[in-house]
Amino acid sequence: MNVEKAIRNLELRGFSVRHFATGAEATAYLDEQIRDTTVGIGGCMTAKQLGLYETLSAHNEVFWHWVTPGWETLEKANHAAVYITSVNAMTEGGELLNIDGRGNRLAGQVFGRKRVYFVVGINKLCPDFETALSRAHNIAAVTNCKRFPNKPPCQVDDICHDCRSPERVCRALLVLWAPMMDMESCEVVLIDEALGY
């Protein structure tokens, strides 16, 4: 993948980009940037792998439903000043793709935040939109589905069927072509490690 091309295109689209060799460097950067505020974290394996909840809780009020389950936590996360999430796929052209079931993670990315950070492992980078969409469906969504007790068809053969199962957990696709209007900062923190799925 062409990382420099992706960075250039993300910046042309209006995203800020920080590029790090390791997750530890990215975590230290976020710890420095995010202080004395409220932070929401969306369902994000990358954030878990980086220990962002523990790191940021030292000097912020952090809301994450993976730590404190419940609707109240989801609402507080979506009203926080800063929102942290990842992507299911990112194109070299600078597009960010996410599939979600409940919608809280998508909502946190697009409305009401002053700052949004997308923490992205290099494994999410794809050459074009079609490849990124396939990755979002057949790698990220299928792997994510295995965390739940639901048994849609993809649980059988690891392929997205765009099913009509009532147990489907991938229910919406969001593509960001640019930061939403009136955001103070929308930043992609790109890491040269395979993180999340």
Alpha-carbon radius of gyration of the chain: 16
Instruction: Please provide the DSSP assignment of 63-117 as one string.
Output: EETTTS-SHHHHHHHHTSSEEEE--SEEETTS-EEEEESSSHHHHHHHSS-SEEE
- The separation between CA 48 and the C-alpha centre of its own chain, rounded to angstroms, equals 12
Q: Give the chain's domain count.
A: 1
Q: Is residue 197 part of a domain?
A: no
**Contact by Cβ (8 Å): 109, 178:** no
165: containing domain: 3-191
Q: What is the CATH number of the domain that holds 160?
A: 3.40.50.10420
Q: Is residue 185 part of a domain?
A: yes
Q: Is the pLDDT of residue 1 over 80?
A: no
Q: Is residue 141 part of a domain?
A: yes
Q: Which pTM value belongs to this model?
A: 0.93
Q: Is residue 89 part of a domain?
A: yes
Q: What is the pLDDT of residue 160?
A: 74
Residues 48, 53, 59: CA angle, nearest 5 degrees: 160
pLDDT digits (tens, 9 = 90+) for 187-197: 999 999 999 98
Q: Is residue 56 part of a domain?
A: yes
Q: Is residue 182 part of a domain?
A: yes
Comparing CA positions, the residue from 81, 46, 39 lying closest to residue 61 is 39
Q: Is residue 179 part of a domain?
A: yes
Q: Is residue 7 part of a domain?
A: yes
Grade residue 174 by pLDDT with cuts at 50, 70 and 90. very high
pLDDT digits (tens, 9 = 90+) for 53-108: 999 999 999 999 999 999 999 999 999 999 999 999 999 999 999 999 888 999 99
Q: Which residues of 102-139 are buried (b: 16+ CB within 10 A; e: fewer)?
A: eebbbbbbeeebebbbbbbbbbbbbeeeeebbebbbeb
For residue 174, how many C-alpha atoms fall within 13 Å in the half-sphere facing its CB? 21
Q: Check residue 179 and report its DSSP letter.
A: P
How far is it, in rounded angstroms, from Cα 66 to Cα 80? 16
